[in-house]
Amino acid sequence: MAIKKRLTLAAAAATIGVSGMSAADSHDSETSQDQALVILTSNSLQTQGMAMILANAMQQQGTDLHILLCDAAGDLAVQGYASAEAIQTPAANPVGQIKPESILGMLMEKGASVDVCAIYLPNSDHSEADLREGVGVAAPGPIAEMMRDPAIPVYTF
């Protein structure tokens, strides 16, 4: 079983202000890139926001991300979805306010792989055609392989 890493809220908040360093800045070409699986299920705006902020910090530090959106969090993958409110970032961050689905889009633009859970679409009013371009539907086998791989940490929110 993969060891699940835990971050304190203070450490998490500190990651918001991380500058845009590229994967090349933290890894040389001979080192294989780190991977992480982020599973987000929460319908809480702050939990969704913090998961996306932390995923962004991991990606900026060179981690190859795979994001799995399940239950209410699957809505973030629906084209045109808009959270009811934006989250307020700490004063040290010049962004100010941002929505989790906006951060998700930025992560995808920078190469993050995003899927909805296999049971999300059959249990929602959406079809595969409603998903953002580039979002897939996860198959349980490959996700289970990632979860079982001790080299790939799994973060759940």
Task: For the chain, give the percent of residues with pLDDT over 70.
Answer: 76
Q: pLDDT per residue over 133-147, tens digit each? A: 999 999 999 999 999
pLDDT given at position 18: 34
Q: Is the pTM of this model over 0.85?
A: no
CATH class name, domain 33-156: alpha beta
pLDDT given at position 112: 98
CB atoms within 10 A of CB 12: 14
Mean pLDDT over residues 38-67, rounded? 97
Interior CA angle at 46 toward 86 and 103, to 5°?
A: 60
pLDDT given at position 96: 78
User: Are 101 and 81 within 8 A, CB to CB?
Assistant: yes
Contacts of 38 (CB under 8 A, 6+ apart): 51, 54, 55, 65, 66, 67, 68, 155, 156, 157
Name the token pair of 74. 């699957």
Q: pLDDT per residue over 85-119, tens digit each? A: 999 887 666 667 899 999 999 999 999 999 999 99
